[in-house]
Amino acid sequence: SSLLELRRDERRSQQRGLDARHGNFGGVYRVRSQFGDTEHILGRQGYEGGGALPAPARRRKPKNRLPLPADIPPRSDPASASAVRALADTLFRGPLNALAGSVAQDLEGFAFGSTQHNSAKVLPSDYLFFSSVAAWAIEAHRLLQAQRRLEHPDEPFDVAPIASLVEIGVYNMALRLCREFEERKNWLQLGVVVRLTKQLFLLLDEMVRHGDGEVRRVALLLRRNVFYESEIRKQLELLIKAYEPHRMVPAYMGDVAVMTHAVLRQFELHGKDGNLVSRKRRKAKRRNKPADKRKKSGPQGDTG
């Protein structure tokens, strides 16, 4: 027994002399750096040590991570505005229609497995690039036309500069991408495609309300094909329910709200023209017969 107690005392003295123990026993790690010049302490000190490690000094949070006190107004630069305006005018005068039409044809061919033209060279990310650029082009054209209507109220809406984007194939592609990205839960990609879809429906709304005879006829044909064949009401309901506030940008819900407003306004205009938009079916209630009538109409017993 005396020998056993002596061994225990030796172990206790050895443990008191150690400044660190293995992390599995509640001690710390002393890890040397790659060059062997410094030591890094990981974990916590042992029970026999001199207490816990000192708390790290509080670092000042960087300014780019601080919450914004208010919305930052956009900075106006005349030189940048004139450069963007010159770029938009150059695109709308000619090359935009040919370029957008060719890219849309290749994207549509890639979706259906075609190898004609450049369909075989299409990448999945090209759909997002096309959606972003097409949304910017449509919005720029709408703003230019709105400014033109303020100066010349009698002039109709001109859709010729972006005629290649006012195609049934572009609408169907945008709606198909919305469904696919929503099923895959690709939140960022869904926000980009929803922005394009919003601009397409706003463009259709302005073509119906401000276009002349031919532009209005094309817009009505598009409205009939897109709204009813694509089940746009179910699509809007799906996009609203797909919103995830912790995974998606707040602008997504704003785009869906504006798009829903444009679609509902077109439904109202379609109903005012004498067309039937939807009809709510009512079930006919069955009237119960009175008790005396049921007795008279029931089977009669033998009287003989």
What's the pLDDT at 281? 58
- In angstroms, the CA 70 to CA 62 distance is 17
What's the pLDDT at 199? 93
pLDDT tens digits for range 82-113:
888 888 888 888 788 888 888 888 888 887 77
Number of neighbours of residue 197 by Cβ within 10 angstroms: 24
What's the pLDDT at 4? 82
What's the pLDDT at 156? 87
What's the pLDDT at 282? 62
What's the pLDDT at 46? 46
8-state DSSP, 248: S
Where the chain has pLDDT below 70, the residues are: 1, 15-56, 61-72, 229-230, 273-304
Angle between helices 168-184 and 95-111 (to 10 degrees): 50
> Parallel, antiparallel, or unpaired: how do β-strands 39-43 and 28-32 relate?
antiparallel
Which residue type is seen at 89?
Answer: D
What's the pLDDT at 269? 79
CA distances from 6 to 9, 15, 259 (A): 5, 14, 84
Mapped onto helix, strand or coil, the DSSP state of residue 13 is helix
- In angstroms, the CA 152 to CA 175 distance is 34
* Contact of 32 with 38, CB cutoff 8 Å: yes
What's the pLDDT at 7? 83
What's the pLDDT at 258? 92
Cite the DSSP H helix spans in the chain. Answer: 2-17, 78-92, 95-111, 126-151, 168-184, 187-210, 213-229, 232-241, 250-272, 291-297
pTM above 0.75, yes or no: no
